[in-house]
Amino acid sequence: MDSVQYQKFLDNQWRQLEQRIQDDEDFQKAGKAKIQISEEFFFTLDIKGLSGLLITINDMQKIDKNNIPICKGWNIEVLDKTILMSLKNNEYNDFFRNIVNLILTKINQEKINQEKSVDFFFKHLLSAKNFFDSDTLPKHLSVEKETGLFGELIILREYINRKYSDEETLNYWTGPSQKHDFTTENILLETKTTKNDGKKIIHTSSNDQISPIFEKPLYLSFVQIENDPSGKTLKMLIDEITKKFEKKSNVLINDFYIKLRHYGYYDFHKDFYKDKYVLKDCNFYFISKTFPHIKDIKEPEPIFDLSLTYKINLEKCEQFRINEEELINSL
């Protein structure tokens, strides 16, 4: 069973639980239903519709209890041979299920054994702890973030993946967690995306983001997209990339969705991303020592950790522009 099929299996198990709560009088009396997913993991659902996870453990001493995330979004009960995790708020149901499904799929696809799977699960769940600690669910991406992600995925699919394997391409996409969007063995590549605007103006997120100060050569890709009914939504583009990865590796898709989650994209927000885009143009620049940038900033005491943002007009940076072939060769 590949990762897509396994996630469909997990979704179906949640649906079966919901049906049991509604139809089975015994479960209604008990107030909670469970369904087995693997040797150690069970999905749970109570009469109020709150999702949870029951984990059976043969030897509790082998579990690092410091890895079990405690937060105000869920209850944790640690017994002799079980850990029961249950939500406190129905609003988190879809988000919780999405996170659990992703982690369990990764456990399944990487064939992590029972002894290591529980620690693995809680270690990966920590990345979502902040959301469950807050009073609100993670919000959908802003239009700026949506178009930014769209542009990065265009570069990933059309350029990085043209030279590298699917596994390498996904590994080189570091935008969700690093200063620059792509980090290959040879270069750093930052992507800036704009829509419905003929101006070639970019915004930096820090004073050194577009600066020739890094160990690897830095390049800039400037992606211009525009709204078009014949184009693709963000969800459609993600689905296309997913289908391509699906043909090569069962693990890739899950890793792809984990990176999307770090970016702030969740499937349950898909209805918010209705705009369709087409690629209008894509320009590339080499960030040499003479490329316009703010040089070293001396921070007068007591000022520290000074960070500046600024705009660059790429219309006036034509001497740094390179063609598509030059970029791909440099990758």
In terms of domains, do 73 and 207 share one? Answer: no
H or E element that contains 78: strand 74-78
Can you name the residues that pair with 32 across neighbouring β-strands?
46
Whether residue 267 contacts residue 99, with contact meaning beta carbons closer than 8 Å, is answered with: no
In terms of domains, do 14 and 102 share one? Answer: yes
In terms of domains, do 92 and 183 share one? Answer: no
Residue 319 lies in a domain: yes
Q: How many residues does the chain have?
A: 331
Last residue of a domain, one of 133, 166, 183: 133
For the chain, 331 residues long, the average pLDDT of each consecutive 10-residue run is 80 86 67 86 89 87 76 84 87 83 87 84 77 69 93 96 93 83 94 85 82 89 95 94 78 80 81 92 94 74 71 94 95 93
In terms of domains, do 68 and 156 share one? Answer: no
- Angle separating helix axes 93-109 and 114-125, nearest 10 degrees: 140
What is the per-residue pLDDT for 198?
Answer: 75
What is the per-residue pLDDT for 188?
Answer: 94
In terms of domains, do 168 and 246 share one? Answer: yes
Last residue of a domain, one of 104, 133, 162: 133
167: its two tokens: 């596994």
What's the one-letter identity of residue 106? K
Whether residue 77 contacts residue 83, with contact meaning beta carbons closer than 8 Å, is answered with: yes
In terms of pTM, does the model score above 0.85?
no
Distance CA 103, CA 125 (A): 8
What is the per-residue pLDDT for 137?
Answer: 63
Residue 16 lies in a domain: yes
Distance CA 88, CA 132 (A): 10
Residue 239 lies in a domain: yes
In terms of domains, do 125 and 243 share one? Answer: no
Residue 315 lies in a domain: yes
Looking at the chain, the number of H-run helices and the number of E-run strands are: 11, 12
In terms of domains, do 199 and 312 share one? Answer: yes
What is the per-residue pLDDT for 298?
Answer: 66
In terms of domains, do 261 and 288 share one? Answer: yes
181: DSSP letter: S
Whether residue 52 contacts residue 112, with contact meaning beta carbons closer than 8 Å, is answered with: no
Q: Which residues contact 134 (CB under 8 A, 6 or more apart)?
A: none
98: its two tokens: 């999405």
What is the per-residue pLDDT for 288?
Answer: 93
Can you name the residues that pair with 285 across neighbouring β-strands?
220, 321
In terms of domains, do 128 and 150 share one? Answer: no
290: DSSP letter: T
Residue 86 lies in a domain: yes
Q: How many domains does the chain have?
A: 2
Residue 152 lies in a domain: yes
Whether residue 154 contacts residue 279, with contact meaning beta carbons closer than 8 Å, is answered with: yes
159: its two tokens: 């350029």
Residue 138 lies in a domain: no
* Domain coverage including residue 11: 3-133
SS3 135: coil
CB atoms within 10 A of CB 28: 14
In terms of domains, do 119 and 240 share one? Answer: no
In terms of domains, do 251 and 322 share one? Answer: yes
In terms of domains, do 200 and 311 share one? Answer: yes
Whether residue 173 contacts residue 259, with contact meaning beta carbons closer than 8 Å, is answered with: yes
Last residue of a domain, one of 111, 133, 155: 133
